[in-house]
Structure 1
Amino acid sequence: MKKLSLLLSAVLLTVGLTGCAGEKSQSTGAKNEVEKAKKEIVVGATPVPHKEILEKAAEVLKKDGYTLTIKEFSDYQIPNTALAEKELDANFFQHVPFLNKSIEEKNLDLTYTVKVHIEPMGLYSKKIKDLKELKNGAEIAIPNDPTNGGRALRVLENAGLIKLKSGELVTKLDITENKKGLKITELDAPQLPRVLGDVDAAVINTNFAVEAGLNPTKDAIVIESKDSPYANILAVRKEDKDKDYIKALSKALTSQEVKKFIEEKYKGSIVPAF
């Protein structure tokens, strides 16, 4: 009887384990099927040029059976949080250093799949047409977020207006030489085109410049080199990087159709990074 009892217990245990394994396998299989069945991709983006580029990519995605829903943001801080909290499947608005800084500061489990385009940053003004006209003590506005602020300062340094310490994430406290005594004012990036009449000049991200009707190749007094390392990327959650719909979106954003669209629409003010 004792042996029979032990034998029955072993059989029941085996059946129980097999059942659990079967349930787990079915659960994993169901999850994979859901992922394969996902045909709507929700992406957060700033208006120009990111939303416009995504709208072109949507035409490519449609051929593969996917629909693209674009959620528009005018803020640089919200899209990464929204992505991490699964309100979005991906976002498209930022360059690599900005994403890395957000990951570090907010402990986000994000990464990126492809580099899509480069937006050369430029110095704009309504008061002067040439750097030689910039007076001592002139006020120059720059973005107030760390990565774009540092990048803007490098634009001013390359123009010969200031000198900075070495390093990627420099601030105005890292200015080592400022012969003209320029006043550097930090503001939210979207506000910069609107304050052009109040300051002597402003270093503006191309997306906000284009949105405000400025042409970087014609209107910028100084423009960042086209070999800038600040490529704009498609950001995703690490856990989703290899999913079919993310691969499809990445492929569409780096397609020949999108490349041609960028080259023809923006005529050199925004350039493909692929």
Structure 2
Amino acid sequence: MKKLTYLIGIFALLLLLVACAEAEEDTVKVGIRGSELKTWEYIKDQASKEDINLELVTFSAQYDPNQALVEGEVDINAFQHVAYLNLFNTNNNSDLQAIGTTIMAPIGLYSNKYKSLDDIKEGTKIAVPNDPSNWGRALLLLQEHGLLTVTDNFDGNGGEDRIKENPKNITILPVDGATTPRVMEDVDFAVINNGVAVEAGLLLKDAIIHESKTAKPFINVIVAKAEDKHNDTLKKIVEIYQRDETGNFIKEVSNGNYIPVGMPLDELATWKDFYSY
């Protein structure tokens, strides 16, 4: 009898270990910024119905979730657009891969002092994010509205030498992207990244101008290591994100700041798209 009880105990322990292993296997750590926390809390709830446990790891603006992904601190992340991902891979000799599109978070031009592009005069001061991809993104936005022209060999990355024509002699002031809302008192206008704007209480409808849906290089994506690109659990998370119900939730919770995008991966922009943007 004692032997039978012992064997049953061992069997129960083995079942427990297997269950724990399976639970750990289905737990996915997701690196995000605070601006998308509500969306991912919703997705976490939906994923739990599919027996997938999401652990949300929120990173501040001072730490790059891509580095956390490279170092294995998270399994996937969702905070960046295609251009930023390409630049990170180039600069770090990494091979992080987009596994699904999420949203378009249009960058916009804001001001506490002015209401129209007509207010941009000779020598107007415009603050822009100083990281290369968003700096370039800001220049493209200003070019789209005829305020300046970028160089012929523009590759999507911003810099003082990337402006070809500046007829109004606009002063471009690169600042830390997280501080752009705070410097609006010191400049005439500021180009502010969508997530930063949301955290500062600014809505997309408050922007004087903002990106259109055709800005393919700036569609946000869920990213994984190359070896995990075809992981079934991760594919399921992408599918949950791209459901109509999730899209409706995103529109509501973001007050229209985010535009859900379910674009196939093979239609995503590459660096060559910057030349035709």
Which letter does structure 1 place at the counterpart of 2:214?
A: D
> Does the 8 Å CA contact 1:153/1:171 hold for their aligned counterparts?
no
Instruction: Pick the aligned partner of 2:99 from 110, 113, 118.
Output: 113
State the partner residue of 2:215. 228
Distance change >3 Å, CA 176–CA 79, structure 1 → 2: same
Matches within 5 A, 1:177-256: 177-217=165-205, 219-229=206-216, 230-256=218-244
Following superposition, the deviation at residue 53 of structure 1 comes to 1.7
Following superposition, the deviation at residue 227 of structure 1 comes to 2.2
What are the ranges of 5 or more consecutive residues in structure 2 without an aligned counterpart? 1-19, 263-277
Following superposition, the deviation at residue 65 of structure 1 comes to 1.3
Deviation digits for residues 35-89 of structure 1 (CA, Å, limit 9, x no counterpart)? 78512211111111x2222112112101011222211122275211110010001
Following superposition, the deviation at residue 92 of structure 1 comes to 0.6
Give the distance between the partners of 1:77 and 1:163, measured in 2 at CA.
Answer: 32
Instruction: State the TM-score, normalizing by the size of structure 1.
Output: 0.82
> Does the 8 Å CA contact 2:38/2:253 hold for their aligned counterparts?
no
Runs ≥4 in structure 1, deviation > 4 angstroms? 33-37
1:117 counterpart SS class = strand
State the partner residue of 1:47. 34
> Does the 8 Å CA contact 1:153/1:172 hold for their aligned counterparts?
no
Instruction: State the TM-score, normalizing by the size of structure 2.
Output: 0.81
Higher Cα Rg, which structure:
1
State the partner residue of 2:4. none
Give the distance between the partners of 1:35 and 1:97, measured in 2 at CA.
Answer: 36
1:196 counterpart SS class = helix
State the partner residue of 1:169. 157
Give the distance between the partners of 2:25 and 2:185, measured in 1 at CA.
Answer: 48
> Does the 8 Å CA contact 2:135/2:159 hold for their aligned counterparts?
yes
1:257 counterpart SS class = helix
Sequence identity, in percent? 37
Following superposition, the deviation at residue 246 of structure 1 comes to 1.4
Matches within 5 A, 1:1-274: 38-48=25-35, 50-75=36-61, 78-166=64-152, 167=154, 168-217=156-205, 219-229=206-216, 230-274=218-262
Give the distance between the partners of 1:227 and 1:55, measured in 2 at CA.
Answer: 29
Which letter does structure 1 place at the counterpart of 2:77?
A: N
What are the ranges of 5 or more consecutive residues in structure 1 without an aligned counterpart? 1-32
2:100 counterpart SS class = strand
RMSD of aligned Cα (Å): 1.8
